[in-house]
Amino acid sequence: MAEAHPVGFQWVMEAKKRGARIIHVDPRFTRTSALAHQHVPIRVGSDIAFLGGIINHVLQNELDFREYVVNYTNAANIVSDKFEDVDGLDGLFSGFDPETRTYDPTSWQFAQEDQDGELGQAQADDAGDTAEQRDTAAGMQNEAHGMQVGSHPPRDETLQHPMCVFQVLKRHYARYTPEVVEQICGVSQEDFLEVCRAWTENSGRERTTALVYSVGWTQHSVGVQYIRAGAILQLLLGNMGRPGGGIMALRGHASIQGSTDIPTLFNLLPGYLPMPNAASHQTLSDWIDGVRNPGSKGFWANAGAYGINLLKAYWGDAATAENDYCFDYLPKITGDHGTYRTVLDMIDGKVQGYFLVGQNPAVGSAHGRAQRLGMANLDWLVVRDLFEIESATFWKDSPEVQTGEIVPEECRTEVFLFPAASHVEKEGTFTQTQRMLQWREKAVEPPGDARSELWFFYHLGRMMRESLAGSSDERDRPLLDLAWDYPLHGEAASSGWGEPSAEAVLKEINGYEVATGRLLSGFGEMKDDGSTLGGCWIYSGVYADGVNQAARRKSRHEQSEVAPEWGWAWPMNRRLLYNRASADPQGRPWSERKAYVWWDEDAQEWTGHDVPDFEKKKPPSYRAPEGSDGVAAIEGIDPFIMQGDGKGALYAPQGLIDGPMPTHYEPVESPFRNLLHGQQGNPTRKEYRRSDNPLNPDPREPGAAEVFPFVFTTSRLTEHHTAGAMSRYVEHLAELQPEMFVEVSPALAAERGLEHMGWCHVITARSAVEGKVLVTERLRPLRVEGRTVHQVWMPYHWGQGGLVSGDSTNDLFGISLDPNVLIQESKVGTCDVRPGRRPTGPALREYVEGYARRAGVLDHEEGPVVTASADAQQRSAAAQDGADQHSPQQREDQ
């Protein structure tokens, strides 16, 4: 955090000054470690084992915050007795289909009560086709959706029922002992127990602990389950929805949160509404019901209003109740259309045109060679950036031009490089990592032909519409009927080439009454009858009272520490999500020191330092009437108002492709066997097995460990920014960090003959990259499963362009993805390291292929993904059919 988010880290230092204990868990000693009380070096890719160990410590020693856990989490819910856990199935959960490598989650559901039987069946049915959900990254919708489970599963609030979530969880993590953590993670028992002590002693009524991760955590084949493991621990310790607690994702780009909320993502529409799927969303009501899931609790019950407001914002007057608000105009997805699938499709000649807007995949995406070969096989490419980045010049100076794989005279891709406006040359909002929107004023005009994206896409749309005007082709209706009328300003406005008004777009995002133009005060005002429109329901309120709330800049000296009048946070300016959990079930603060939001008996409403993330007038004593659903079913003790049962999910029966609880799997490329199970890696991970995407071999393959014996990981430098487009071209930053380097421990340097400040190169089955050797004790060899493992670290900021150039580390990674969100595993791989520079020209490919051949992966003959025993696979598949039912008591005896 001190390295990549230094200014945010000042608040960690503030906390330290006030007595907080800081623990840094990271493979490498960094500036953060230097300022922490404890640094815990860990083997890359073993985080679930580490966190699972702490969860086990909490459960075995009954250190959980019991009143919070019973009331605010699903610990008491009873799981179906058809559920079988990984321990009996060699690393698989029940319901596995080895053909599709996905689960049927029927057996993971909560038990059904008689009166709830119908709903329970609906839950299971709604779980749907998981292979399709994997392809469409359906889990991502849960960023705001939560699980759509039934509202009243059977519960045992004594937490003693053998199939209650608490007991299921306790059994699941029982094997994650300090000894096992030491074996898998390479963390000493002493270090580990010190973390356990610090975390648990600093949680409860009087104290809270925050878990901070950077989004390298997501770049694993089990990335979502890493975060789930953190969430389970924080829920058990009562650290969610409370001040000083929580899980903070430190995201890496100025508006990456915004580009997820208002997504430029294939599977989402604004506000986490799903892109309709041809298989299940052929009509407006299919689509709406797929989101609101009738029968569930929570605010998604109003999904009809959110969806119809979006369609009205898109198609304006053309969208009417009679034509289902132009729902038919939305294109339908049918599977995996993610960026990696698309790049492989480019290599295969299936894609004609590609836009790159402020993104440099030639350096920033995994498997750079595939990225560049894909770009070299297009009809046209549009790059919009401040500088002449590698993704614009692949045809003349990429590594593949050196190897002869791209020959400029034979490369047909037509390339347009448009100069873009910088952040000070346009106005608009960024959403930072805590969901806060901040409006930027325009300082100066962009230079020359540089323009904003708002300008580019507005005018591109205008010109396309003008070209198609008069078309009678049905397929052109969505473009011709599009509400695409934004006021233009600036000097060029008179000639029709003006800058569209960002304020007008933000007002459309906020939403307004169609008849009067009155701006909505929040999503509660959105109607499902076409009388209001709004482009992104969770952002509704950003223009409340006709005021641009994101432009508020009241000095921090003139308001509270929560600073509610600086910018605007979604939803409804709530700064801390689920903050009803900061009060006890009766609505009183858990303690005076941790008072944040509470129930005011006299005023009969929720109040406090923040906007309550709860219905203001709903008392803690409110209990839902029999048969209620939606918002009415949220009880006074249900803080997690977007979840289908209002509770924090210790156990997730739905929404995850790879299991209801995180379990340790080895990274796709690992020198170690999975100590816990026969199942080596995530069995449901997304893979693209093809000759241009070889993966380093499974450690069970003979000789594998000799060819690629080391583990490597990557992260950012303080002085550079991701793929380097915003730092390698900037004099000061280029001077501060001029060169690609490779950090190795003294022990590895001795083993491989690497000389400090000399050259070395790192090799995988994809490529070899070179850099200067930095021998440092920041990296230490770890003892894992009884042997020594060396870890290598590299920054990933260089390419052939800019003031300072070098090899691109992301060329080393292959493509394998987390099954829930289709994010690549690019924080861990295996490699070899050798002294000296790498070969150049065609010799580079021969050299890399030599490695792949020796490792036995040249012709993509990687080992199987499913490595659990055949017997376990059969029993897992059978469990859902009820063929292998145990009573809970029998299970206990096993």
Partner 1 sequence: MTGSRSFLPWPLLRQFTAGDVLGRGAAVRSRRTDDIVPRTTGADRVAHSVCPYCAVGCAQKVFVKDEKVVQIEGNPESPVNRGRLCPKGSASKNLVTSDLRQTKVRYRAPYATEWQDLELHTAMEMVADRVLKSRKDSWQDIDEHGRKVRRTMGIASLGGATLDNEENYLIKKLFTAMGAIQIENQARI
Choose among 755, 757, 748, 666: nearest CA to 710: 748
d(CA 880, CA 867): 20
Q: Is 482 in the site for partner 1 (CB under 8 A)?
A: yes
Q: CA 182: distance to chain centroid?
A: 28
Residue 428 β-bridge partners: 440
* Window 277-316: residues binding partner 1 (CB under 8 A): 278-279, 282, 314
Q: Which amino acid is at 93?
A: F
CB of 148 to partner 1, least distance (A): 23
Show contacts with partner 1 in window 690-719 (CB under 8 A).
718-719
Nearer Cβ to partner 1 (75/812): 812
Q: At what angle do helices 368-375 and 390-397 cross, to 10 degrees?
A: 80
User: What is the distance of C-alpha 489 from the center of its chain?
Assistant: 37
Comparison of 206 and 380: residue with beta carbon closer to partner 1: 380
Q: At closest approach, how far in Å is the CB of 444 from partner 1?
A: 6
When binding is defined by CB under 8 A, the residue of 40, 55, 726, 857 that contacts partner 1 is 726
Report, in Å, the least distance between residue 692 CB and partner 1: 18
Q: How far is the CB of 456 from partner 1 (least distance, A)?
A: 8
Nearer to partner 1 among residue 162 and residue 316 (C-beta): 316
Q: Taking CB under 8 A as the criterion, which residues in 735-764 touch partner 1?
A: 736
Contact by Cβ (8 Å): 715, 4: yes
CB of 214 to partner 1, least distance (A): 10
Binding mask 30-69 for partner 1 (x = CB under 8 A): ----------------------------------------
To the nearest whole angstrom, how small is the minimum distance from the Cβ of residue 768 to partner 1?
Answer: 23
Which of 74, 359, 670, 745 binds partner 1 (CB under 8 A)? It is: 359
Dihedral sign computed on CA atoms, order 550, 552, 554, 560? negative
Dihedral of CA 59/65/67/69: which sign? negative
Least distance (Å) from partner 1 to the CB of residue 342? 5
From the number of C-beta atoms within 10 Å of its C-beta (0-12, 13-18, 19+), residue 453 rates as: middle
| Minimum CB–partner distance for residue 170 and partner 1 (Å) | 35
Instruction: Figure out which of the listed residues 180, 468, 514, 631 binds partner 1, where binding follows CB under 8 A.
Output: 468
| Coil, strand or helix at 381 | strand
Q: Which is nearer to partner 1, 441 or 602 (CB)?
A: 441
Contact call for residue 485 and partner 1 (CB under 8 A): no
Our CA angle for 409, 412, 414, nearest 5°, is: 115
Q: Which stretch binds partner 1 (CB under 8 A): 15-23, 551-559, 583-591, 677-685?
A: 551-559
- 224-253: burial string, b at 16+ Cβ within 10 Å, e else: bbbbbbbbbbbbbbbbbbbbbbbbbbbbeb
Measuring CA to CA, which residue among 803, 746, 735 is closest to residue 773?
Answer: 746
**Rounded to whole angstroms, what are the CA distances from 219 to 32, 151, 228, 713, 791?**
20, 33, 14, 11, 17
Instruction: Report 584-623 residues binding partner 1 (CB under 8 A).
Output: none
Element (H, E) at 25: strand 23-25
Binds partner 1 (CB under 8 A): choice among 20, 23, 35, 351: 351
Look up tokens 């560049």; give the residue.
372
For residue 731, count other CB atoms closer than 10 A to its CB: 8
Q: Which residues in the 312-331 window bind partner 1 by CB under 8 A?
A: 314, 328-331
Q: Are 596 and 608 in contact (CB under 8 A)?
A: yes
In three-state secondary structure terms, 249 is strand
Over the range 7-45, which residues count as b (16 or more CB within 10 Å of their CB) and which as e? ebbeebeeeeeeebebbbbbbbbbebbebbeebbbbbbb
Stretch touching partner 1 by CB under 8 A, among 59-67, 231-239, 253-261, 698-706:
253-261
Q: Which of residues 118-157 bind partner 1 (CB under 8 A)?
A: 137
**634 lies in the binding site for partner 1 (CB under 8 A):** no
- Rounded to a whole number of angstroms, the minimum distance from the CB of residue 210 to partner 1 is 15
For partner 1, the closer of residues 115 and 264 by Cβ is 264
Q: How many CB atoms lie within 10 A of CB 603?
A: 10
Rank residues 656 and 823 by Cβ distance to partner 1 and give the closer one: 823
843 binds partner 1 (CB under 8 A): no
Binding segment (CB under 8 A) for partner 1, from list 32-40, 104-112, 199-207, 535-543: 535-543
Q: Is 365 helix (H, G, I), strand (E, B) or coil?
A: coil
Applying CB under 8 A, which of residues 181, 823, 844, 868 lies at the interface with partner 1? 823
Q: Are 45 and 23 in contact (CB under 8 A)?
A: no
Residue 493 is a binding residue for partner 1 (CB under 8 A): no
Do strands 436-440 and 568-569 pair parallel, antiparallel, or not at all (unpaired)?
antiparallel
Helix (H, G, I), strand (E, B) or coil at 519: strand
- 822 close to 333: Cβ distance less than 8 angstroms: no
| Choices 275-283, 668-676, 749-757, 854-862 (CB under 8 A): range interacting with partner 1 | 275-283
Least distance in angstroms from the C-beta of 427 to partner 1: 8
Which of 322, 731, 777, 893 touches partner 1 (CB under 8 A)?
Answer: 731
Q: 61, exposed or middle or buried, with CB in 10 Å at 0-12, 13-18, 19+? A: exposed
Strand-pairing partners, residue 526, are none
CA dihedral 638, 644, 650, 656 (to 10 degrees): -160
Looking at 702, 732, 786, 893, which residue binds partner 1 (CB under 8 A)? Answer: 732
Contact set for partner 1, span 194-233 (CB under 8 A): 219
Phi, psi of 436 (to 5 degrees): -95, 125
Among 251, 369, 664, 686, binds partner 1 (CB under 8 A): 251
Piece of 443-451, 596-604, 750-758, 769-777 that binds partner 1 (CB under 8 A): 443-451
Helix (H, G, I), strand (E, B) or coil at 63: coil
Which of 5, 372, 664, 797 touches partner 1 (CB under 8 A)? Answer: 5
Q: Residue 753 burial by CB count (10 A; 0-12/13-18/19+): exposed, middle or buried?
A: exposed
What stretches of 842-881 show up as alpha helix (H) in DSSP?
A: 842-855, 870-879
| Closer residue to partner 1 (CB): 23 or 562 | 562
Output the smallest distance, CB 559 to partner 1, in A: 8
Binding-site size, partner 1 (CB under 8 A) = 166
Write down the least CB distance from residue 535 to partner 1, Å. Answer: 6
Instruction: Rule CB under 8 A: choose which of 156, 508, 638, 687 binds partner 1.
Output: 508
Beta bridge partners of 597: 608
Q: Which residue has the tokens 């509400």?
A: 483
* Shorter beta-carbon distance to partner 1: residue 355 or 622: 355
Closer CB to partner 1, 648 or 801, in the complex: 801
Closest separation in Å from C-beta 811 to partner 1 = 15
Assess 17 for contact with partner 1 (CB under 8 A): no
* C-beta of 154 vs 216, nearer to partner 1: 216
Residues 380-439 that bind partner 1 (CB under 8 A): 380, 382, 384-388, 392, 395-396, 408-419, 422-426, 428-434, 436-439
